[in-house]
Amino acid sequence: MEAHAVNPWVAVAYLIAGICFILALRGLSSPATSRRGNRYGMAGMAIAVVTTLVTHVPTVTAIGTDYKVHIDGWRFLEIFAAIAIGAVIGLTTARKIQMTAMPQLVAAFHSLVGLAAVLVGVAAFYNPAAFGILEAGGLDILKGSRIEMGLGVAIGAITFSGSVIAFAKLNGNMSGAPILLPARHSINLAALLAIIVLVSLFHGDTPHLFWGIVALSFVIGFLLIIPIGGADMPVVVSMLNSYSGWAAAAMGFTLHNTAMIVTGALVGSSGAILSYIMCRAMNRSFISVIAGGFGAENAAGGGEGREQRPWKRGSAEDAAFLMQEAENVIIIPGYGMAVAQAQHVLREMADLLKKHGVNVKYAIHPVAGRMPGHMNVLLAEASVPYDEVFELEDINGEFAQCDVAFIIGANDVVNPAARTDKSSPIYGMPVFDVEKAKTIFFVKRSMGGVGYAGVDNDVFYMDQTMMLLADAKKMVEDINKALAD
């Protein structure tokens, strides 16, 4: 028998790990407590991993009233070699990755979680005795474990292929525009029903049904993500995070591992809740997004054929003069700020403006950047005070009293087409009312580019708008020099 079957301390250790994970989620809900949340998460994972190793690596055999413990040295070495390799890769990646590539990294990590669930399922299918899921008499896999295994493999495969597509879209290897296949909803529904049927039918002697589940799940993951446009990619990243959690929870049931069940359920439920909150913030249907972009046909025609219209060019000196004379300035950061790594000089600009008596606030859209919380993390990294950062619903009413709206690297989140153009891929998404500000400074690299959704922006051509065309960091540095003179 195994030690974890009789040792109550194992359940206690997993309970403590689960509490740490809950505290981690609570800490990560705010930039002010995010570091503490990360520490709780690392502590919980360390407890879960050590407990699992202690209870599964040794073999405990009952001999009368005594127990004999045997440790397979090679098995122990293999496990720690795998952990060490993964730790080195993770540490190196975390140290080298730029914040601009963080959404791609998150998508890549989700794909690995999904692939791990598939590989664990394959191992359990071909060697159920090693996982303790063989029926009495050794004839077949336990029925309950078959269902859990099938669901874990299916969700893991969907997570893997969906995350690969999300990575390609975020990294620019694929177009951020929706790719609409004919009859895709019927194909998705048929594939989903087929997966459910196969999960209910497969058993230990039907490898063709098992691999049918894997193949169909890989296909449906691909089909679910390609119709989703760039404006909705932050929701996709959050949704895939949820999928990876449910895959881990399902495999936890297969492995009879409480820590995996608890951790997976927490990740799955929190990711689903975050996806739902973001969909509400964007005026998107949650079911539509997770089902592969229902209604995207209505938005497929937006963003075609840019019209040549007059616009005004401003300078760093113009921006410095008008902002230091202003009473209220609202800064709207976006992905372009992340690309230029301009968050530190932006905070310096805000500090200089405050010395001139200007009231400075930051406006953060739920989908600014390409993953949830992207801008919040960047501003926290630059030590921007948390009480100066406001979400869309809390600050949108202040633009009418705002002297200057300073847009740095954002585009789709300030585009009025979301309210006025029903053919636009961003139609219906709540955006900042920057057009109500007295003066708008719009920092972007050139007039040739459009937002991630590929839509031209009327704000560029408004009478109160001055375009500051340059690298975002260089432009803000020039503004800071002018403010300091």
Give the pLDDT confidence score for residue 300 in this predicted structure: 45
Domain residue ranges of the chain, discontinuous segments joined by +: 100-300, 316-484
Strand partners for 404 = 329, 439
Q: Is 313 left (phi over 0), alpha (psi -120 to 50) or beta?
A: beta
Catalytic residue among 232, 412, 456, 478: 412
H helices present in 97-142, as ranges: 102-126
Radius of gyration of the chain from Cα atoms? 26
**Contact of 296 with 182, CB cutoff 8 Å:** no
Res 63: pLDDT? 56
Non-local CB neighbours of 192 within 8 Å, separated by 6+ positions: 220
Instruction: Quote the CA–CA distance of 75 and 119 in Å, as a whole number.
Output: 18
Give residue 55's pLDDT.
Answer: 77
Report the pLDDT value the prediction gives residue 427, as an integer from 0 to 100: 79
Architecture of domain 316-484: 3-Layer(aba) Sandwich (3.40)
Torsion of CA 404, 408, 413, 418, to 10 degrees: 70
pLDDT recorded at residue 405:
96
Q: Nearest-CA neighbor of 109 among 132, 127, 85, 86?
A: 86
Spatial contact of 411 and 451, defined as CB atoms under 8 Å apart: yes
Rounded to an integer, what distance in angstroms lies between the CA atom of residue 263 and that of residue 252?
9
Residues of the chain with pLDDT under 70: 1-7, 56-73, 136-139, 176, 230-231, 281-284, 289-307, 449-454
* Maximal C-alpha separation, the chain: 91
The total number of residues shown for the chain amounts to 485
| Residue 300, both tokens | 């497929």
Contact indicator for 131, 255 with CB cutoff of 8 Å: yes
Burial 237-254 (b: 16+ CB within 10 A, else e): bbbbbbbbbbbbbbbbbb
Q: Note the pLDDT tens digit of each residue in 57-115.
A: 666 555 555 555 566 667 778 888 888 998 898 888 878 777 777 788 888 888 989 99
Q: What is the pLDDT of residue 299?
A: 45
Active site residue 232: no
DSSP string, 170-225: HHTSS-SS----TTHHHHHHHHHHHHHHHHHH--TT-HHHHHHHHHHHHHHHHHHH
Single-letter residue type at 157: A
- Dihedral sign of CA atoms 355, 357, 363, 368 in order: negative
